[in-house]
Structure 1
Amino acid sequence: MRWGTYFAVSMAVISIGLALGVTMPLVSLRLESWGYGSFAIGVMAATPAVGVLLGASLAGKLAGRFGTRALMQMCLLVGAVSVSTLALVQNYAVWVVLRLLLGVALTMVFILGESWINQLSIEKWRGRLVALYGTGYALSQLCGPLLLTALGTEGDHAFWTGTCLLIGGSLLLLGRTGAPKVGGHSVSLKGLVVFCRKLPAIAWAVALFASFEAMMLTLLPIYGLRQGFTQDVALFMVSVVVVGDAVLQLPIGWLADVMSRRNLFRGCGVVLMLSSLSIPLALHSSVIWPVLVLFGASAGGLFTLSLIQIGERYRDDELVRANAHVSQLWGIGCLVGPLATGAASQWVSGHALPLLMALGAAGFVVLAWRRDELPQTVSAT
């Protein structure tokens, strides 16, 4: 196994998490300070989802033409230009376009990077290696809001920090080998439908986690502010959710290598549903902090286990296409989640965020118990 390449690719993708973690909350807070409502902020949060759908359709074709490594480097640099322009031109309409471009570029990095990591992973360690990557990505998102707190929200230092991180991620990939061989095919809506029919619980889990991640970085700070917390506490709530995601992914990955992945998958869905329902009840007590930890851990577990199960099934071009479908589902989740939550928060209930997550988790639990598409056997040891 190419350990140096595994860590380089992981760090390149993780640089995105830190860059987004430090810039996405700032975008929402800046819009809040400009007087925009929850729905307008939700639209901004959902805009990259359209870019995700475009990026997913282009990743295979462009990787076949330019090569996996070269395309990842180019996309990271395009992302750096987009983030830096957020600092230079602070206008809502321009930001929508920039967030769209950012979604296209970084989606291709996710598709190719996660395919590369899964391709490199040996089966008996797949759960732990994918979870290690997931932990690193979650930690990067944890450090993002903390770094934003340190940098402050008054100036544009966070945007420039995100720019430098993306440039650094591109440099890490210089000379790396062992990427999946891509045939240059684009993914289609028909292919996505087939993927969802074959793996419905995995498809739902991916879309649900995408909604979760988009809402945590953009709408959770606003949720905290509107429930009476200070800005620092609202950002700290985001960090606690990500701590739960980060700290417990390695144990989940280890369990995925020694027990039934299907039962573990189901368990994460149940915990996510219960913790989501508990947030409004525990919000103004000390119980909220362990609830937020479980909330983040269970949501992250759904995505980690989805990647593990995809990696054990596919290789090379099929693996890239499967991850492209994952990104299409991610785009759908990022689009629907913030829009629905922003609208419901403004016009239905101030607690729409956790309640809609609970509803989504309940849908996953139903699918996971009704369908038998998940493998019962564990990885070879």
Structure 2
Amino acid sequence: MRWGTYFAVCAAVISIGLALGVTMPLVSLRLEGWGYDSFAIGVMAATPAIGVLLGASLAGRWAARFGTTGLMQLCLLAGAVSVGLLALVPSYPVWLLLRLLIGVALTVVFILGESWINQLAVDKWRGRLVALYGTGYALSQLSGPLLLSLLGAATDLGFWVGTGLLIGGSLLLLGRTGAPTVDAHSASGRGLTGFCRKLPSIAWAVSLFAAFEAMMLTLLPIYGLRQGFTQEVALLMASVVVVGDAVLQLPIGWLADRMSRRTLFRACGVTLLLSSLGVPLLLHTPLIWPLWVLFGASAGGLFTLSLILIGERYRDDELVRANAHIAQLWGIGCLIGPLATGAASQWVSGHALPMMMALGAAGFVWLAWQRPDFGDAGAALEAD
């Protein structure tokens, strides 16, 4: 196994997490300060999801033309330029366009980077190696809001830090080899319906975690503010959720190498359902802090186990294509989650965020018990 390449690719993708962890809450807090309502902030949070869908359809063709490594570097640099322009052009319509471009560029990096990581991992260590990547990514997101609380939301320094991180991620990939072989068809995005039909629990889990991640970094700080907490405490809540995601992914990965991965998958769904229901009840008590940890860990476990279950089935073109479907589902989750939650927060309930997560978790639990075999993976990519 190429350990140097594994850690370099992990670090390059993780640089995205830290950059987004700084800039996404900064965008939401800036819009809140400008007087925009929850729905407008939710639209901004959901815009990169459209870019995700575009990026998933283009990744294979672009990788075939430019090469996996070169394309990842190019997209990281494009993301850096877009983040820098957020600081230079403080305009809501322009920010929508820039967030769209960020979604396209960074989605390509995720598809190719996660395929590369899964390709490098040997199966007996797959759970731990994928979880190690997941832990690093979660820690980068944790560090983002904490770093923003130190930098402050009143200046544009957070945007410039995000720009520098993405440039650094591009440099880490210089000279790296061993990426999955890709042709123009592999990540075309075709066959998503068949993928969802054959692997419904994985498809739902990915969409749910995407909605979770988008809402934690954009709407959770706003949720905290509107429930009477200070900006510092609201940002800390978002960080604690990511702590749960980060701290417990390695134990989940370790368990995934030693017990039924499907049983563990279901357990994460049940835990997410119960913790989501507990948030409104415990929000203003000390118990909310360990509950936030459990909330983050169970949601992160769903995504980590989805990647593990995909990685044990596919290689090369099929692996890249599966990850393109994962990216499409991610885009759908990022699009629907913030929009629905932003609208529900404004017009239905102040506790819409945890209630929407509970509803999504309930859907996963139902699917996980309806389809205990998680479908026929071999046929999932053939249904074009």
The interval holding the TM-score normalised by the smaller chain is over 0.9
Give runs of aligned pairs for residues 194-209 of structure 1, distance below 5 A: 194-209=194-209
Superposition deviation, residue 183 in structure 1: 1.2
Superposition deviation, residue 189 in structure 1: 6.1
| Distance in 2 (alpha carbons) for counterparts of 1:358 and 1:155 | 36
Superposition deviation, residue 375 in structure 1: 8.6
Superposition deviation, residue 374 in structure 1: 3.3
Q: Which residue of 1 aligns with 2:381?
A: none
Instruction: Give 2:111's aligned amino acid.
Output: I
Q: Which residue of 2 aligns with 1:81?
A: 81
Q: Which residue of 2 aligns with 1:57?
A: 57
Query: Could you list the per-position Cα deviations for residues 289-317 of structure 1 after superposition, in whole angstroms to 9, with x for gaps in the alignment?
Result: 01100000000000000000000000001
Partner of 1:148, secondary structure, is helix
Q: Which residue of 1 aligns with 2:110?
A: 110
Identity %: 80
Give runs of aligned pairs for residues 252-271 of structure 1, distance below 5 A: 252-271=252-271
| Distance in 2 (alpha carbons) for counterparts of 1:186 and 1:342 | 35
Q: Which residue of 2 aligns with 1:358?
A: 358
Instruction: State which drifts further: 345-354 or 364-373.
Output: 364-373
Runs of 4+ aligned residues of structure 1 deviating over 2 Å after TM superposition are 186-190, 372-376
Aligned-residue Cα RMSD (Å) equals: 1.1
TM, length-normalised to structure 1: 0.98
| Distance in 2 (alpha carbons) for counterparts of 1:59 and 1:249 | 28
Give runs of aligned pairs for residues 9-24 of structure 1, distance below 5 A: 9-24=9-24
| Distance in 1 (alpha carbons) for counterparts of 2:140 and 2:309 | 24
Contact preservation (8 Å) 2:60, 2:183: yes
Instruction: Give 1:143's aligned amino acid.
Output: S
Q: Which residue of 1 aligns with 2:301?
A: 301
Alignment gaps of 5+ in structure 2:
377-384
Instruction: Give 1:114's aligned amino acid.
Output: E
How many residue pairs get matched? 376
Query: Could you list the per-position Cα deviations for residues 224-274 of structure 1 after superposition, in whole angstroms to 9, with x for gaps in the alignment?
Result: 000000000000000000000000000000000000000000000000000
| Distance in 2 (alpha carbons) for counterparts of 1:129 and 1:303 | 14
Alignment gaps of 5+ in structure 1:
377-381
| Distance in 2 (alpha carbons) for counterparts of 1:19 and 1:337 | 21
Instruction: Give 2:168's aligned amino acid.
Output: G
Q: Which residue of 1 aligns with 2:158?
A: 158
Verify: 1:171 aligned to 2:151, yes or no.
no
Contact preservation (8 Å) 2:58, 2:188: no
| Distance in 1 (alpha carbons) for counterparts of 2:351 and 2:154 | 28
Superposition deviation, residue 81 in structure 1: 0.2
Q: Which residue of 2 aligns with 1:379?
A: none
Instruction: State which drifts further: 183-192 or 106-115.
Output: 183-192
Superposition deviation, residue 187 in structure 1: 4.6
| Distance in 1 (alpha carbons) for counterparts of 2:177 and 2:2 | 9
| Distance in 1 (alpha carbons) for counterparts of 2:17 and 2:36 | 25
Partner of 1:258, secondary structure, is coil
Contact preservation (8 Å) 1:149, 1:232: yes
Superposition deviation, residue 184 in structure 1: 1.3
Give runs of aligned pairs for residues 260-339 of structure 1, distance below 5 A: 260-339=260-339
Instruction: Give 2:328's aligned amino acid.
Output: Q
Partner of 1:118, secondary structure, is helix
Query: Could you list the per-position Cα deviations for residues 125-171 of structure 1 after superposition, in whole angstroms to 9, with x for gaps in the alignment?
Result: 00000000000000000000000001011110000000000000000
Contact preservation (8 Å) 1:262, 1:375: no
- The change in CA–CA distance for 1:321 and 1:54 in structure 2 (over 3 A counts) is same
Partner of 1:228, secondary structure, is coil
Contact preservation (8 Å) 1:58, 1:186: no
Give runs of aligned pairs for residues 193-272 of structure 1, distance below 5 A: 193-272=193-272
- The change in CA–CA distance for 1:339 and 1:375 in structure 2 (over 3 A counts) is closer
Query: Could you list the per-position Cα deviations for residues 61-80 of structure 1 after superposition, in whole angstroms to 9, with x for gaps in the alignment?
Result: 11011110000000000000
Superposition deviation, residue 186 in structure 1: 5.8
- The change in CA–CA distance for 1:134 and 1:257 in structure 2 (over 3 A counts) is same
